[in-house]
Amino acid sequence: MLRVATGLERIASGDDGVLRTLRGRKLGLCAHPASVDSRLQHARQVFDARQLTLVALFGPEHGYGGEAQDMISVRDGDTNESLPVHSLYGPTEADLSPRPEQLEGLDAIVIDLQDVGARYYTFVWTAVLVLRAAAARGIETIVLDRPNPLGGEILEGAPQRPGYQSFVGLCDVPVRHGLTIGEICRMVQEIDGLERDALRVIPMLGYDRSMAFEDTGLPWIFPSPNMPTADTARVYPGGCLLEATNLSEGRGTTKPFEIWGAPFVNARELVKRVHAEGVTLRPITFQPTFHKHGGKRCFGVQVHVRERQRARTYQLYLRLIAETRNLAPNEFAWRKDPYEFVNDRPAIDLLTGGPEFRELVDAGDDLRDHLAADSLKTRDFDRRRSAWLLY
């Protein structure tokens, strides 16, 4: 049973207060495959059914159609839509923001993107870049809010240190930030000093911060190719860290980010050394069909989240990576290739928000003080975020 009405659902149901903000205006729509209502109708169809005037479409990373793999640039118009489709994930960093000519003639741009609640999932930063570009031209941004699949009460991982902002964290928020996409845009509006009329958030009805995604009654549509279930989202705050190593994060399997490993991982010894509340670690053997170690037999772990309220997957994967490095110091390696348009800092530093974790792991030092300091900084952000909360 549907318990939560998203911003899009309010349009689909004929909420006159919402429709009045959209009627008679030339609209752009930034969306992806998960931009659906409770009947699985895409936002484009919902807008057409309500006779709203769409003149352009925009797609984030993975594309408007959602088919591109991670860090694969998408060209404008790569779809069978009749309207212009502008990619906001091209080959250069400049392509992450809409160009002035793409916003020409718009009265407002509507954002309907399903986020997964982790700082490095780039859809929230696409929304922020759209907001900034539109505000600079006097165009209103309208966010159709959606749930944070991880809920809004538990936060993990300190905000970034100065100098470590990037497209996997444009603004200083915890890794597991506990905000909706609308709340993050409200935060940026205040921090950037944008005009009041630059942003309108259409809030959800029936949502509260304690909800897991399953509590909302909404259908899960994978928002990117390797985010197949809400279970994937639960491990992603930690699982994405594997992208910054030579460990397979499970791309090329049916359980990306839940399954991970490499040919050199001593999985049985690893699960003896690492224990975490609310989670079971199960040694496995797997063979990715593509991506890292594609076609090779890998040894690793499947992370089973048993108790959502107790599981802290960001801290868990930090510990798993550190212990893997200890067990295989000659085989384990950090990613050295450019990562999300950054080539002068290691990917792991961008993801964790600074060099401290990498330096501790390389030195073989204990992580307990680092994790405790992280938690203190996260609690400080939790106290500051109240001004931006909608629920």
| Pairing mode, strands 53-59 and 85-87 | parallel
Ranges in the chain annotated CATH 3.40.50.12170: 7-225
260-274 core/surface letters (b: 16 or more CB in 10 A; e: else):
bbbebbbbeebbeeb
Ranges in the chain annotated CATH 3.90.1150.140: 230-354
- With a CB cutoff of 8 Å and minimum separation 6, the contacts of 18 are 7, 10, 11, 202
- With a CB cutoff of 8 Å and minimum separation 6, the contacts of 268 are 283
pLDDT confidence bin for 79, thresholds 50/70/90? low
pLDDT in tens, 210-222: 999 999 999 999 9
Strand partners, 57: 29, 85
Mean pLDDT score of the chain: 97
Q: Indicate the helix (H) or strand (E) that contains 27.
A: strand 26-31
pTM confidence score? 0.96
Gyration radius of the chain's alpha carbons: 21
How close are the terminal C-alpha atoms of the chain, in Å? 21
Dist CA 341 CA 279 (whole Å): 34
| Pairing mode, strands 298-305 and 259-262 | antiparallel
Q: Is the pLDDT of residue 80 over 70?
A: no
174-199 core/surface letters (b: 16 or more CB in 10 A; e: else):
bbbbbbbbbbbbbbbbeeeebeeebb
Q: Specify the CATH number of the domain 7-225.
A: 3.40.50.12170
Q: What six digits make up the tokens of 49? A: 């059914």
Q: Is the pLDDT of residue 17 over 70?
A: yes
Q: State what percent of residues in the chain have pLDDT above 70.
A: 99
pLDDT in tens, 266-309: 999 999 999 999 999 999 999 999 999 999 999 999 999 999 99
pLDDT at 81: 78
Q: What mean pLDDT comes out for the span 129-133?
A: 98
pLDDT confidence bin for 76, thresholds 50/70/90? confident
Q: What mean pLDDT comes out for the span 347-355?
A: 98
pLDDT in tens, 240-249: 999 999 999 9
49-78 core/surface letters (b: 16 or more CB in 10 A; e: else):
eeebebebbbbbbbbbebebebbeebebee
Q: What mean pLDDT comes out for the span 328-350?
A: 97
pLDDT at 304: 98
pLDDT at 82: 86
Q: What six digits make up the tokens of 329? A: 């110091």
How many residues appear in the chain? 391
Q: Is the pLDDT of residue 2 over 90?
A: no
Alpha-carbon torsion, ordered 327, 357, 96, 118, to 10 deg: 80
Q: Is the pLDDT of residue 322 over 70?
A: yes
Strand partners, 56: 28
Q: Is the pLDDT of residue 7 over 90?
A: yes
CA atoms within 13 A on the CB side of 292: 22
Q: What mean pLDDT comes out for the span 157-177?
A: 97
User: Furthest-apart CA pair in the chain: how many Å?
Assistant: 63
Q: Is 225 exposed, middle or buried (0-12, 13-18, 19+ CB in 10 A)?
A: middle
Q: Is the pLDDT of residue 78 over 70?
A: no
Dist CA 288 CA 299 (whole Å): 11
Protein fold of 230-354:
Aspartate Aminotransferase, domain 1 (3.90.1150)
Dist CA 237 CA 46 (whole Å): 32
